[in-house]
Amino acid sequence: MADETLFQLLHTEVVAAAYGGGRGSGDEGQRTGLTVLESMGFRVGQGLAERLPRGALAFREELDTIKFLCRDLWGAVFQKQADNLRTNHQGTYILQDNNFPFLKQMARGQQYLEEAPKFLAFTCGLLRGTLSTLGFESSVTASVASLPACKFQVVIQKP
């Protein structure tokens, strides 16, 4: 029984619950579901970051912190690293995962792309919550061009 399976199964249930029971239908329900998932991710990210060894919180530059997400956060949550990181060196970062675990079980095909956001919202929140506890306010959005690859765009808010 692999640990990552456990977390992924629970995540699947969380997504289903956020869209279940009549919730999540229509545009407004869709937005509510995404907000619920993003908020849960945010608090989990905060919780994870609060449990980091104290040294990990102290020294970090912005780019170091983003690299930490790609390597350590991705490692803890998905047992691998993010595949690519790009930045404009002005506070915008693109984290790319070519085989994103929460999208892997989805059927392939253009017609399923509209289902993808619900499997990305939690992770957007997770990134934003972790960053928040590490001292960086941000906005995080996700996009999918071709399943199961996706990109998370992190924009650090300047104080």
Closest CB to a second copy among 9 and 114? 9
- Minimum distance, C-beta of residue 132 to a second copy, in the bound complex (Å): 15
Q: To 5 degrees, how large is the angle CA 72–CA 143–CA 156?
A: 55
Closest CB to a second copy among 39 and 143? 39
Closest CB to a second copy among 31 and 86? 31
**What are the C-alpha distances in Å from 40 to residues 2, 8, 31, 63, 131?**
23, 14, 14, 25, 15
- Minimum distance, C-beta of residue 92 to a second copy, in the bound complex (Å): 25
**CA torsion 108→109→112→117, rounded to 10°?**
70
Question: According to the 3-state scheme, what is the secondary structure of 41-95?
Answer: HHHHHHHHHHCCCHHHHHCCCHHHHHHHHHHHHHHHHHCCCCCEEEECCCCEEEE
**CA 77 distance to own-chain centroid:** 10
- Distance, CA of 101 to CA of 10 (rounded, Å): 13
- Minimum distance, C-beta of residue 159 to a second copy, in the bound complex (Å): 26
The SS3 call for residue 153 is strand
Closest CB to a second copy among 44 and 94? 44
Closest CB to a second copy among 56 and 113? 56
- Minimum distance, C-beta of residue 145 to a second copy, in the bound complex (Å): 28
Query: Contact residues for a second copy (CB under 8 A)?
Result: 1-7, 9-14, 17-18, 36, 40, 43-44, 47-48, 51-52, 72-73, 75-77
- Minimum distance, C-beta of residue 138 to a second copy, in the bound complex (Å): 19
